[in-house]
Structure 1
Amino acid sequence: MFGALGRLVSRHPWYVIATWVVIAIVVVLTAPALTSTTDESEFLPDHYESIKAANLQQEAFPDATTPGAILVFERKDGAKLTDADVADVTTIGKELGPKLGEKTFAQQVATVGADGKPSVSADGQIAIGFIGLADKANGFDTQAMDDAKKMRDDLEPLTKGTDLEVKSTGAAAQSLDSQESSESTMAIVGIATVVLIVLLLAIIFRSVIICLMPIVVVTVVSLIATGLIGAANEAFDLKADSSIQVILIVVLYGIGTDYILFFLFRYRERLRQGDETRSSVVHALERAGEAIASAGGAVIVAFLALLLSSLSIFRSIGPALAIAVAVTLVAALTLVPAVVTVLGRSLFWPSKKWRKEPEAAHFGSVGKALGRRPGVFAAASGLVLAALAVFGLQFNPSFDFNSSLPKGVESTEAINTFQDHFAAGASDPVPVLVTSKDGGALDPAAADAVGAALKDAEGVDQVQGPQLSKDKATAQFSVILDHDPASDEALADVKGPIRTAVHDAAPEGTSAYVGGTPSVFADLQKAMARDYSVVFPVAALVIMLILAMLLRSLVAPWYLMLAVGLGFGATLGATVIVFQHIQGEPGLIFMLPIYIYLFVTALGTDYNILMVARLREEAREGRNPRDAAAEAVRHAGPTIAAAGVILAGTFASLMLGGNSLIVSMGFALSFGIFVAAFVMAMFFTPALTALVGHAAWWPGHGDEKREETVAPREEVAARD
């Protein structure tokens, strides 16, 4: 199959290249833009309590204003606010209101509390203003971010002539800062990724053209993949989180370069044996094509397993990454061979050393040592992975996307100032609603019971209300927590004592719901636990099936997945050590295990597939299991090492972004790829295969010596 594809592509390379260019142009001109959201509530299904509370609040209290932004005023000299300063705050609020427009923010800017007095802190040092959201606005969409930027521009001239400075925070302002941080991160990561790939390819091949080829190929692939992802998100109403575009850059360049390397190493190997360009392309695609297709298939299936998630964030990330890998895979099997065919031997210009096969002394000596003592290599590498995996049990999930913002951005500084002078929970009061099940008027005693229970609940600082809906069927309380609503402490309070108190106090015939940010986080935690129990096993099972079909074995897939599982645990454990124990972070973003599992499982399987496929090939030459493992390390080791360094380095570039979510993810994924390439694929997998021996290939016994399946070079050249 892959030999036939190689012959087709090598005979008509210009048609293949032209087809890709045309597809890219059509997609760019017709596909919608790829958008993202930072609203965690958009990721949850309707049956969770936080979403029920939000829907009930919107239905029963349509005129209620949720803070879309918070203005924090203080004197430039840090002194207490004077009466003139407070008057200036009121004036600024009145003048700002009409400038905001009606698309996102309400025109009313509230700088006074419910009692009509200015909202000034008890120490008199800061004043605040709340900007309510307009009807049907959420504060997280593109329009909200545009209006938040306009609001900041409008505030600057309004504060001139006063002694005040003002900073904004809240949903819209934080979303704006998150977007700008992501754009900055994308630029940094993109530049770092390209520079790293060019430098590493220059060291490996010493070729100008090979350095540039992944950049050109991935650029075409990126245009097509991004357009297709945008179209899929729009067609199926998928919600992508704000990190997806940064991750796409890394995935496309990293995996794309890996697959190009898989092909180029085989192509160069055949050229060194004296073949012409076209026959070498056919041979390279026939030998590497199966490994590339199987590896890409494993990655795609692993990502598509996220469709089983109950969270829309994972359901959108999965197809997005699957589409990106699928386009990259097709390009690796068609566009790359076509470009190589056109360039021929000039691909390696200006280097001439490619003609001579290096001795690969290091990999050869490692392979010989592994072949002699596979038990030692398997035990040593397995114990290292297991020791690190123990720390993975201490992983503490965090659900606060905004905490990942760089500390110097305006919204972070504003919320820190706010919480220094007001109750921590005052920036985002938690709505608690109690409603009659039959739609009739709510018994006042029911509301009183819930209110009393709230005041006594652990974690509650103040309770305001109740406020009754127009039909008298629903009562709403506004609860100010002791802790920052986005903190782990607030999540624990809402998930535990507050929800318990509210549910227990609600009389028969009524329903009570706790909403707000910490309630969303609590539901995300519950949904995450469910998804991990479903997505992980399904992805592992499907990858095992792919391995079984590729290797025609029911034995090897089990220990290959054991290796990948140890790699996952070791990666999570190392990340916990670095960020929770050494840096003192209270937790790591809750999505991290999913990303680690998918990338380490899927991409780690890439390297395992390449190593085991080469090991099987060596066994078919008549070598015993230990000698086959030694030769596989010698020949496949350089390819895996080069690909692993490039992909690990590509993921490591995420650590330059300054966003703590992206930094932790960059470390975890780069460490995981390093482990997958240099521990699992290089040592653990071939050592185990050597130990298991001929039984590893049961029942297909694909390691048995057989006749050459690739057409002789002379025959291929004659056909070409």
Structure 2
Amino acid sequence: MIRSLAACTTRHAWKFILLWTVLGLALTLVGQSKMYSVTEPDVGNFLPKSYDSAAALRIAEDKFGAKPDGNAVTVLVAREDGRKLAAADSARIDKIATGLGKHRLTMKNPDDVPSFMLEDHSQTPLVRPMTDAPDKSFRLLSVSLKGNSNDPALQDVFRDFREHAEKEFGRADLRSGFTGGLADLADTAEDQEDTEKLVGILTLGLIVLLNVLAFRSVLAALLPLLAVTIIGGAATGAVVGTAMLFDFKLDPSTPSLITVVLLGIGIDYFLFLLFRFRELLRADPAARPRDVAGECAGRVGAAITSAALTIVAAFATLGIASFGQFKVLGPAIAVCVLVMLVASLTFMPALLAVSGRKMFWPSKSLRKEPRPGMSARLGERVARRPFLFAAASIGLLVALSAGALGMKMDYGTGSGPDDTPAAVTAKEISKALPGGVDSPHTVYVAADGAKKVTIDRAGLEGLAKDLKAVKGVGRVAAPVLNKEHTAAKVDFYLDMDVQSQHARDVVSDEVRPVVSKAAPPGTEAHVSGQAAIFSDVSEAVSKDLKVVFPVAAALIALILVALLRSLLAPLVLMLAIGLGFTATLGSGVLVFQHLLDRPGVSFTLPLVLFLFVVALGTDYNILISDRIREEMGRPGSARQAVAAAVRHTAPAIVTAGVVLAGSFASLAVNPSPATQEIGLVTALGIGLSSLVLSIVLVPAVVAMLGRATWWPSRSGRGSGGAHGGGHRAPAPAPAPYGTYPGPYQQQEYGSPYGSEVRR
């Protein structure tokens, strides 16, 4: 099927190129304009309804009209001269705040997106007084803006409000500062804009440089980037369309991950095709490029398809997770990879068929077989001393794995740079007020089930009193009833960092038991707020890790069995991949938890890392295993086959691995600490997979096992002495390239894609 598709693609190359170009441009427009309408910035909304904080959120929405897309910004107002606020100053602040609440904010439409495809964030903000500093040094206001806080369009609306507010307060000789949520994101985006552009340029430059070094060609350096850009736009649009069609929300970090995954695996798959395309053109200089491109896609396409489906299957297991942030990541990545797979089997071969030998201009590498280089020497040494290389690789991986001992999870949302205006304002507030003042927690009380219970303020006095007695609760506000008196809410503030483990322990172990016991008869009470939400997230993630890990591993193992038609080879690969994962996780713990002294690694890291490193790293293992089996199907010993496979495949794997690792490393500039960790640690994992597992450990183990690797299949058994009549002749020891005996010594032999000269 893959060969038939490849032949059709290369026969109608220009039609496929035109189709993908039009599709890519159209879906890119959809993805850019609608991405933020299908993302959900509130982590609490990803929790199952059975959790306490999720129940509190339902009461807030049903009984108090709380908007799930509301974004609170804290505004600090103080005198310009630094004196304490007088009664007249407070009156002026409240008067200006009332005026700000009547001023309609307008949104600026980007020039590159049609206005009819944009969500209009123009609105009138909700401005309310909040509290005063105990020493009267400032007054706090609360401002709420509706929309997705990650949407740059809403951030522009906030900047419009900030500019107007600064102007109004400045006229009254008052200074203002803005912090919290939307303000943090807007300031961080401004602070990181130039850095992100620079990193993007450097990442693209790295890809171009590696391609130039690998192929000595202008077209081979630039065409993969152009192709992946078109395909990436189509894939992003497909993800957004899928989310809109099936009505699910994406996590805010998903767009960044999609971009990195698409760039990484897209370049990887193109490189796999390019390296084999060049090899086949060298082998048969008289062949038509179109035929060679079809044969190349048919051969490498099988490995690419298996690798891509492994990624899809791995991420599909996230569908069984209870935590929505994991559940939605699965289909998003799966759709991206499926689009990239289809493009790898159609669009990329079409480009090869059209460009032909010009793809490698001005390099003269097609005219002759290059001398054996580092990959040839590595293959020879691994084949000669497989036990030594296997032991060294395993020792390194085990040593890195030891770093995972004592791993702790960090459920904090993190923060951006500490020198932005929002961060400076937050520090000023924290010096005068409790640590949790800008992130209040709330107890929501409502009638239990179908009971029609009327709640009065007196019935809540005991709840508020008991709440005040909890150690760690700094202040408890007066209870507030809804209009029908069927629900109530009690705000309280913690006197600690709400992102800390201590805050989560206080809420889950102290506050919730007190609230449950003190709730009025006939009512149910639930606690909401950042510490409460992440306490529930912690429990949900712990459950998911115990389920998703084994299911994903089993599914990947089944795919490898079906691909390799063997039981022993998949076992070797799964053990290597598992060791690579633990080594990567251990490295992440060593760096972030111990060296950088963070509370722990991000709670999303183990699962996301498992899927990315295992699924993406499997690509390289599949490629090398497929090539080893192909080489074993030719005359010669198993160790000679391993050496030949490493020689021909290592350059593609190393180049692709560096590109993919570099793509993930670019996430290091993301303001989210969790995304930084995922990017850097995944980059390390990809590096280990490509440089250690795929071209050293796996070939070394296969060299030791020989053709028994493919048991019980007879795949990889060559003719003429390799086996015959049920008996195999002893395999000669591997020799350096150029001195291989028999079929490896300047002898021409048949292959599925024409005659190929082997030296």
Q: What TM-score comes out, normalization by structure 2 length?
A: 0.86
Displacement after TM superposition at 1:520 (Å): 1.3
Q: Which amino acid aligns with 2:24?
A: A
Please name the residue that 1:15 is paired with: 15
Q: Which amino acid aligns with 1:238?
A: F
Please name the residue that 2:316 is paired with: 304
Between the aligned partners of 1:566 and 1:642, the Cα distance in structure 2 is 22
Between the aligned partners of 2:165 and 2:485, the Cα distance in structure 1 is 40
**Conservation of the 8 A alpha-carbon contact between 1:453 and 1:501:** yes
Tell me whether 372-381 or 651-660 shows the greater mean CA deviation: 651-660
Q: Which amino acid aligns with 2:376?
A: G
**Conservation of the 8 A alpha-carbon contact between 1:74 and 1:127:** yes
Between the aligned partners of 2:71 and 2:271, the Cα distance in structure 1 is 52
| Partner of residue 547 from structure 2, selected from 527, 531, 534 | 534
Runs (5+) with no aligned partner, structure 2: 107-120, 721-748
Between the aligned partners of 1:499 and 1:88, the Cα distance in structure 2 is 40
Please name the residue that 2:62 is paired with: 59
Between the aligned partners of 1:530 and 1:636, the Cα distance in structure 2 is 40
Q: Are the structure 2 counterparts of residues 625 and 78 from structure 1 closer, same or farther at C-alpha, using a change threshold of 3 Å?
A: farther
**Conservation of the 8 A alpha-carbon contact between 1:72 and 1:127:** yes
Displacement after TM superposition at 1:612 (Å): 0.9
Displacement after TM superposition at 1:601 (Å): 0.7
2:578 pairs with 1:565: yes
Q: Deviation per CA, 1:639-684: give whole Å up to 9, x if none.
A: 1111111111222222244543333222111101101101111222
**Conservation of the 8 A alpha-carbon contact between 1:104 and 1:139:** no
Please name the residue that 1:316 is paired with: 328
**Conservation of the 8 A alpha-carbon contact between 2:25 and 2:230:** no
Between the aligned partners of 2:239 and 2:60, the Cα distance in structure 1 is 34
Between the aligned partners of 1:343 and 1:203, the Cα distance in structure 2 is 19
Q: Which amino acid aligns with 2:6?
A: G
2:116 pairs with 1:98: no
Between the aligned partners of 1:223 and 1:425, the Cα distance in structure 2 is 41
Q: Which amino acid aligns with 1:200?
A: L
Q: Which amino acid aligns with 1:386?
A: V
Please name the residue that 2:306 is paired with: 294
Please name the residue that 1:72 is paired with: 76
Between the aligned partners of 2:84 and 2:458, the Cα distance in structure 1 is 44
Q: Are the structure 2 counterparts of residues 138 and 452 from structure 1 closer, same or farther at C-alpha, using a change threshold of 3 Å?
A: farther
Please name the residue that 1:195 is paired with: 205
Please name the residue that 1:713 is paired with: 754
Between the aligned partners of 1:75 and 1:577, the Cα distance in structure 2 is 47
Between the aligned partners of 2:192 and 2:245, the Cα distance in structure 1 is 24
Displacement after TM superposition at 1:547 (Å): 0.8
| Partner of residue 273 from structure 2, selected from 228, 250, 263 | 263
Aligned residues: 706
Please name the residue that 1:690 is paired with: 703
Please name the residue that 1:159 is paired with: 169
Q: Secondary structure at the match of 2:362?
A: coil
2:254 pairs with 1:213: no
Between the aligned partners of 1:523 and 1:77, the Cα distance in structure 2 is 45
Q: Deviation per CA, 1:1-24: give whole Å up to 9, x if none.
A: 333333322222112212222323
Displacement after TM superposition at 1:49 (Å): 1.0
Q: Which amino acid aligns with 1:39?
A: D
Tell me whether 36-45 or 545-554 shows the greater mean CA deviation: 36-45
Q: Are the structure 2 counterparts of residues 106 and 10 from structure 1 closer, same or farther at C-alpha, using a change threshold of 3 Å?
A: closer
**Conservation of the 8 A alpha-carbon contact between 1:105 and 1:132:** no
Between the aligned partners of 1:467 and 1:178, the Cα distance in structure 2 is 35
Between the aligned partners of 1:447 and 1:64, the Cα distance in structure 2 is 25
2:139 pairs with 1:127: yes
Between the aligned partners of 2:145 and 2:225, the Cα distance in structure 1 is 44
Runs (5+) with no aligned partner, structure 1: 114-118, 716-720
Q: Secondary structure at the match of 2:224?
A: helix
Q: Secondary structure at the match of 2:132?
A: coil
| Partner of residue 635 from structure 1, selected from 648, 673, 680 | 648
**Conservation of the 8 A alpha-carbon contact between 1:38 and 1:242:** yes
Q: Deviation per CA, 1:671-711: give whole Å up to 9, x if none.
A: 01101101111222122223333332122232222699954
Q: Which amino acid aligns with 1:51?
A: A
Please name the residue that 1:331 is paired with: 343
Tell me whether 189-198 or 60-69 shows the greater mean CA deviation: 60-69
Between the aligned partners of 2:124 and 2:293, the Cα distance in structure 1 is 63
Q: Which amino acid aligns with 1:92?
A: I
Q: Are the structure 2 counterparts of residues 47 and 176 from structure 1 closer, same or farther at C-alpha, using a change threshold of 3 Å?
A: farther
Between the aligned partners of 2:399 and 2:245, the Cα distance in structure 1 is 45
Between the aligned partners of 2:338 and 2:298, the Cα distance in structure 1 is 19
2:245 pairs with 1:242: no
Between the aligned partners of 2:41 and 2:752, the Cα distance in structure 1 is 55
Between the aligned partners of 2:750 and 2:320, the Cα distance in structure 1 is 40
Q: Secondary structure at the match of 1:699?
A: coil
Q: Which amino acid aligns with 1:430?
A: H
**Conservation of the 8 A alpha-carbon contact between 1:85 and 1:163:** no
Displacement after TM superposition at 1:63 (Å): 8.1
Please name the residue that 1:457 is paired with: 470
2:675 pairs with 1:662: yes
Between the aligned partners of 1:496 and 1:373, the Cα distance in structure 2 is 57
Between the aligned partners of 2:719 and 2:81, the Cα distance in structure 1 is 84
Q: Which amino acid aligns with 2:61?
A: Q
Backbone CA RMSD of aligned residues: 3.0
Displacement after TM superposition at 1:543 (Å): 1.4
Q: Secondary structure at the match of 1:267?
A: helix
Please name the residue that 1:374 is paired with: 386
Between the aligned partners of 2:432 and 2:55, the Cα distance in structure 1 is 32
Q: Secondary structure at the match of 1:160?
A: helix
Percent identity for Structure 1 against Structure 2: 37
Q: Which amino acid aligns with 1:48?
A: Y
Between the aligned partners of 2:220 and 2:311, the Cα distance in structure 1 is 25
Displacement after TM superposition at 1:622 (Å): 3.8
**Conservation of the 8 A alpha-carbon contact between 1:641 and 1:677:** yes
Q: Are the structure 2 counterparts of residues 264 and 133 from structure 1 closer, same or farther at C-alpha, using a change threshold of 3 Å?
A: closer
Tell me whether 705-714 or 362-371 shows the greater mean CA deviation: 705-714
Between the aligned partners of 2:411 and 2:706, the Cα distance in structure 1 is 46
Q: What TM-score comes out, normalization by structure 1 length?
A: 0.90
Q: Are the structure 2 counterparts of residues 340 and 496 from structure 1 closer, same or farther at C-alpha, using a change threshold of 3 Å?
A: same
Displacement after TM superposition at 1:407 (Å): 2.6
